[in-house]
Structure 1
Amino acid sequence: MNDQPTQDQPTQDQRLSDRDRYAQLAAFLSDIELKGMVAVGDRLVEAVGGPDLLPGRKVMVAYGGGKDSTYVVAFVRAVQLHLQLTHGHTFVMRVANMRHAGVPLAVMENIHRVYEALGLLDDERAELLTIDHTEIRRFRVDLPLPERLVNLNRLDVLMNGHRSAGDGRPTFCNSCNLAVADFYGRAAWWQDGVDVIMTGDSRREQALYSAWIMRLAKASGIDVEECRRMGFQGLLTALRGIGDAYFRELFGDGREAEVAERAVSTGDRSMQPEFVSIYDMVSYRVHDHWDLIVDFLGFRFDDLAFSFTESDCANPTLMAHLRGLRAQYVESRTYEAGISEYLELAEAMMRKKEMPENLIRLALSRYDSPVKIVERREVATAYARDVFGLSEAALTAMVYSPFTDEGARLEGFIASCHPEMADRTAELHAALRGDGTDTDGAAEWLEKISALSLTDLRTLYRSALVDFGAQQTMISRVRAGDPHKSQVKTVDPTTGLPVLELISGR
């Protein structure tokens, strides 16, 4: 038998002592990072009232499984080991990773390799949690995604996508961002809670994010002053109010079960964790600690997991695909034209995030020929089918948004994509209105082609396609404050003239 480790076998000795493991990790940290690590450790000791009290304290890291949060996990592990070696005592490290349908297995495999390299898998001072919406379990690389979570994510993608004609951020990120807030509440207050949440976000980023949330909350009629007085729980309370308003707008009146299922967890007011940012103490650019992340921790930029600006989510691949479908079917241009427009946005986003040039080239090279674009289309089609259970027909319906505004675009959609139904549009309208006539066949066809229930289709029929130029809806207000958008060069499908269009994505 070959005793040499294969590519997927552990390369780190799990029996290393704290001193040896710390030495391994510290060798990849710069002098500035080591000084920052000591400063964070000193701050924690002071905050808890002395080193002897450290074992009763818990420090949480939210771990999405991407390159940036991987660095934060490694840094906090270094702090934990440093305190143990310096004082003979240290804190318990809670690492919580949130999942949704857009998180591929490759992300969980990256997380496993990172935990393995850091010696966290069998360390009693580590709580490694996977949070799948309301289900909290100890991390295991092969944990299956709950079917309930996949169904919830699919419905949110469809309802948001139909309201926004498949625009990237509203379709995939709005509901997900509210789920992230829920994740923080559940992770921070699970069982006996945590004392500190360590983050890589700067204080400025935290302040800007908080201010944006409070503006949205105020517009939703929430008492923001009371929320501010409540600290972290108040921020989650504001997000819960925003979420409730958002999902009532999305699903319509009388859908309390859908709203309640997506409610943001607000935790326990008696336990307020402190946020500690490492941003000002370290270099936070991935190329400054490439050797640590890739060579030591075993992080891999997988084909699906690494999608443009994301290294922990495959949904941006679908955002590009939807842009291509929109150009082809809605605007009678070419799929390649839509992809080119999305790549323009994606490159701008990647450069704004100061991603390494080699990663930018890698992401864009996947689309740099007609043959590769066809291959990426096949990858996106298979991903949508396997992860969300959505056919290309359902995605095409979503970017056409034929059901909103009382079916204003239904005839165009039928003529372009399903001409065999051209003589049944009146029957389709009747089914969508709920006229009570004999429309069972039309209803069945609508449900099959859209992957939505008749209840949700009728909600869309009564709803308007979102006007992002006006901030009259929660969906438009959320995108207005979202920085992940840019103007791209496109063509007006009516006049054929070049225009600029504001689109969003990752």
Structure 2
Amino acid sequence: MTATHDQAMNYVYQQMLQRLLGFFSRAERTALQLLIQRLVVSAGGFERIGDYKVLAIQSGSRDSCYTLALLRAAQLSIAGRAPATFQLRVATLRLNGTASTALENIHRSCSALFLYDDPRVEVLMVDNREVLPFNHLAPISEAGRESNRLNLLMVGHRRAWDGPLDLWDDGYLATGEFYGQIARWDKGVDALISSDTPRRQKQFLEGLNRAAAKAGLKTPDPHETGYECLFARLDELGSDCYREFYPESAQAAWRPSDRFETCRRTTFIDIHDMLVSNLEDRWPLLTDFLGFQPDELSAQLSDNDYVSLSISAHPRGLQACFVHGRTYERGVGEYLQRALVMMRRKQVPERFCEQAMETFGNPMTMTDQRALAAAEAQKNLGLSEAQLVCLLFAPFADNGAALEHFLRQCHPGMLVALPDLHRAMQGGPAPEQVLQWMVDVSGLPVSLIGTLYRMGPLVRDEGGALVMESGDVGVQAETTEPDSGATVAGEWSTGR
């Protein structure tokens, strides 16, 4: 680009910055100055800031879009007072459960902040371990969709049928692997910037450890609860977190392979204390400037970041129906009641509680909700209702320990084929009809069902930690009381 073009673009960026700052309160402007100071110190001074690159993970959530705006304000503010400013890498992981609204929020935020054409900014996405320019219109690749589907099932089946309903733990493992690899791609980054609260950091690391244990990996020391230890943990887990499930080269490698650094130098900069304004004060910036379109009910009610609210509720109803012998409506109703308790404890506006009750608390609409959730799970996750029910029972792991129970509850006509099923999972011959039934009911090829069959049980030690047969520690169970503000079993943190 010519000097004239650069000068013109810098003028455009500064004009945009002034408009952005117009949405900041006095407290936010003060927080911005503290953020600039924190970044400059981390870089080693203004003279080195031009060579400093930070990573911001963008999920399309309310908080990630707000954090991106704060970082962009810092980047352009430094550019206005120093010869150079830090470089910014914005990265998104494409998963099957990612909603189109989230991708559109990312695109609108990047457009409003003039990120796409700024050479100091990279806007990237990862699809099936391939690093690509971000494109909110591009559907996830077929290979990526199938890989995500298999990973979800393999990790999800590594649980006891009567244990916690943590079906979506694969999201933690995929995200952790993504953090580790995108941080070292193309000369790497110097720092990961995150506004996640200490509570959310702890929840993510616990989920990562739990998923790693399910994937048969040696899990790290569970006592660290913040992202300061994140990259050390990811180094221990390695670049392929699914290697115990699949034969060598069965999954795509990270690529372009020649653009990944061998040694990572990334540190963590915590800026959760920079989000000083209350949520209501942020809405003008989010909606009027960034074009953010909220799904506040999902943000307040969903118990994880990896599937939609309706899919989160759906297995609760299926579990009540098929596992506990109650009604689907009862299971979803209990899910709703737990959510309402947490929402009111967090002093969420009552309108969201009323909206949740209207959506999930009306028995007259529950049949329609179930059908919609089943259709969404099939479309987005590639899982039928029968395969979700199979996932609830996790019948294949630990030498098929729960297989007979699963058949008696859901497929009594297959009890006669129980010896054939065990023989097939052990790698022996079995009738074609039996093999096809295994594939149809699970969504997995017989070879991967056999892998699950041979993997030992996951148990909890005396302290409540998830432990593999080798004795490696997975994740500590929650034992704190509700009044302490920490998570308790069956509860979650509301808000995004």
The TM-score with structure 2 as length reference comes to 0.78
Residue 293 of structure 2 is matched in structure 1 by 300
1:64 partner SS = coil
State which of 193, 212, 220 in structure 2 corresponds to 1:198: 193
Distance in structure 2 (CA, Å) of the matches to 1:152 and 1:167: 26
Give the letter aligned to residue 331 of structure 1. H
Distance in structure 2 (CA, Å) of the matches to 1:101 and 1:364: 27
Residue 10 of structure 1 is matched in structure 2 by none
2:72 partner SS = helix
Q: In structure 2, do the counterparts of structure 1 residues 427 and 477 end up closer, same or farther at CA, with 3 Å as the change threshold?
A: same
Residue 476 of structure 2 is matched in structure 1 by 480
Residue 323 of structure 2 is matched in structure 1 by 330
State which of 258, 275, 282 in structure 2 corresponds to 1:282: 275
State which of 449, 452, 458 in structure 1 corresponds to 2:444: 452
Give the letter aligned to residue 168 of structure 2. F
Deviations 1:323-379 (A, max 9, x none): 211111122110011112222343455567775554454445420201332232122
Q: In structure 2, do the counterparts of structure 1 residues 472 and 182 end up closer, same or farther at CA, with 3 Å as the change threshold?
A: closer
1:65 partner SS = coil
Deviations 1:267-289 (A, max 9, x none): 75755234222222332653341
Q: In structure 2, do the counterparts of structure 1 residues 151 and 354 end up closer, same or farther at CA, with 3 Å as the change threshold?
A: farther
1:154-303 → structure 2 map (5 Å cutoff): 154-164=149-159, 165=161, 170-173=166-169, 175-201=170-196, 220=218, 233-240=231-238, 248=244, 251=245, 255-257=247-249, 268=261, 272-283=265-276, 285-302=278-295
Q: In structure 2, do the counterparts of structure 1 residues 306 and 221 end up closer, same or farther at CA, with 3 Å as the change threshold?
A: closer
Give the letter aligned to residue 325 of structure 2. S
Distance in structure 1 (CA, Å) of the matches to 2:458 and 2:219: 21
Q: CA deviation at 1:421?
A: 3.6
Residue 20 of structure 1 is matched in structure 2 by 15
Q: In structure 2, do the counterparts of structure 1 residues 323 and 443 end up closer, same or farther at CA, with 3 Å as the change threshold?
A: same
Distance in structure 2 (CA, Å) of the matches to 1:377 and 1:111: 30
Q: In structure 2, do the counterparts of structure 1 residues 341 and 87 end up closer, same or farther at CA, with 3 Å as the change threshold?
A: same
Deviations 1:201-249 (A, max 9, x none): 35797699779989999x948799xxxxx987533213439x85x863x
Q: Give 5+ residue unaligned stretches, structure 1.
A: 1-13, 225-229, 487-500
Distance in structure 1 (CA, Å) of the matches to 2:198 and 2:17: 28
Residue 137 of structure 1 is matched in structure 2 by 132
1:87 partner SS = coil
Q: Give 5+ residue unaligned stretches, structure 2.
A: 1-8, 223-227, 483-487
Give the letter aligned to residue 12 of structure 2. S
Distance in structure 1 (CA, Å) of the matches to 2:37 and 2:238: 35
CA contact (8 A) 2:297 2:355 kept: no
Distance in structure 1 (CA, Å) of the matches to 2:407 and 2:450: 18
Q: In structure 2, do the counterparts of structure 1 residues 214 and 466 end up closer, same or farther at CA, with 3 Å as the change threshold?
A: closer
1:42 partner SS = helix
Distance in structure 2 (CA, Å) of the matches to 1:307 and 1:259: 35
Give the letter aligned to residue 276 of structure 1. I
Q: CA deviation at 1:453?
A: 1.3
Tell me, yes or no, if structure 1 residue 32 matches structure 2 residue 24.
Answer: no
Distance in structure 1 (CA, Å) of the matches to 2:252 and 2:347: 39
Moved more, 134-143 or 420-429: 420-429
Deviations 1:6-58 (A, max 9, x none): xxxxxxxx998233312221122221211121122234334445545433332
Deviations 1:461-488 (A, max 9, x none): 34566445764634995453579999xx
Give the letter aligned to residue 473 of structure 1. V
Residue 381 of structure 1 is matched in structure 2 by 374
Residue 431 of structure 1 is matched in structure 2 by 424
Q: In structure 2, do the counterparts of structure 1 residues 41 and 410 end up closer, same or farther at CA, with 3 Å as the change threshold?
A: closer
Moved more, 382-391 or 315-324: 315-324
Residue 339 of structure 1 is matched in structure 2 by 332
Q: In structure 2, do the counterparts of structure 1 residues 205 and 156 end up closer, same or farther at CA, with 3 Å as the change threshold?
A: closer
2:81 partner SS = helix
2:265 partner SS = coil
Moved more, 84-93 or 375-384: 84-93
Residue 4 of structure 2 is matched in structure 1 by none
1:366 partner SS = helix
Deviations 1:64-97 (A, max 9, x none): 2211111110100111121122335322221111
CA contact (8 A) 1:45 1:51 kept: yes
Give the letter aligned to residue 344 of structure 1. Q
Q: In structure 2, do the counterparts of structure 1 residues 462 and 277 end up closer, same or farther at CA, with 3 Å as the change threshold?
A: closer
Residue 67 of structure 1 is matched in structure 2 by 62
Deviations 1:250-296 (A, max 9, x none): x3xx845569969xx9x757552342222223326533412222332
Distance in structure 2 (CA, Å) of the matches to 1:205 and 1:505: 10
Q: CA deviation at 1:191?
A: 1.0
Q: CA deviation at 1:302?
A: 4.1
CA contact (8 A) 1:320 1:339 kept: yes
Matched residues, number: 464
Distance in structure 2 (CA, Å) of the matches to 1:362 and 1:478: 37
Distance in structure 1 (CA, Å) of the matches to 2:401 and 2:190: 53
Q: CA deviation at 1:200?
A: 0.8
